[in-house]
């Protein structure tokens, strides 16, 4: 598998977690979510592809969406984490930490082996 494909799969696989983490601290509208993601990560390649993901997470019941009309000259669609979303986020964080820990240990073991071989 080419490196770019692997990187793309990794990026796509972590986008759901990143979005849920972004709205965990409070409701945010689409552009605010994108800007938050861009501040901390390079997961957003194309801004327009984030909205379909927000739509899917809403359909799955992990996010709640609501249009707010009177906050800006144009309406904004705010997303907030649902109870089910919070539960999913807790599971995803635990999974991510466990997974990253295992891969980290594997890399350390590999590096120790490399050092010993030299």
Partner 1 sequence: MQLSEAGESRVQGYLFVLERSLNTFLPREVVRDAVREIESHLRERVLTATASPNERDAVERILGELGPPLRVAQAYSAERTIDEAVATGRLVPIVRAVGHLASTTIVGFFAALAVLVGYLTAFAFVAIAVLKPIFPDNVGIRYAAGFPVGLGAQFPLPPGEHMGGGYAIIPFALACGLGIFIGTHRGARGFLSWWRNRRVS
What is the rounded distance in angstroms from the CA atom of residue 42 to the CA atom of residue 8?
Answer: 11
Minimum separation from the CB atom of position 55 to partner 1 (A) = 6
Cα-Cα-Cα-Cα dihedral sign, residues 66, 69, 71, 75? positive
Residues 65 and 33: beta-carbon distance below 8 Å = no
Contact 38, 44 (CB under 8 A): yes
Applying CB under 8 A, the site for partner 1 has a residue count of: 24
Binding of residue 77 to partner 1 (CB under 8 A): yes
80: which 2 tokens?
Answer: 């907030």
Contact of 65 with 58, CB cutoff 8 Å: yes
Among 72, 113, 114, 117, interactor with partner 1 by CB under 8 A: 72
- The contact mask relative to partner 1 for 24-63 (x = CB under 8 A, - = no) is -----xxx-------------xxxxx-xxx-xx-------
Interface pick for partner 1 out of 75, 86, 100, 107 (rule CB under 8 A): 75
Binding stretches for partner 1 (CB under 8 A): 5, 8-9, 12, 29-31, 45-49, 51-53, 55-56, 67, 72-77
């Amino acid at each position: 598998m080419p490196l770019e494909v692997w990187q793309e799969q990794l990026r796509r696989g972590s986008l759901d977690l990143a979005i849920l983490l972004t709205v965990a601290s409070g409701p945010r509208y689409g552009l605010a979510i994108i800007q938050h993601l861009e501040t901390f990560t390079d997961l957003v390649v194309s801004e327009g592809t984030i909205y379909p993901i927000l739509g899917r997470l809403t359909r799955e019941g992990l996010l709640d969406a609501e249009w707010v009309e009177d906050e800006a000259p144009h309406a904004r669609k705010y997303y907030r984490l649902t109870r089910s979303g919070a539960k999913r986020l807790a599971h995803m964080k635990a999974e991510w930490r466990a997974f990253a820990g295992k891969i980290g240990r594997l890399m350390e073991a590999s590096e120790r082996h490399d050092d010993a071989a030299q």
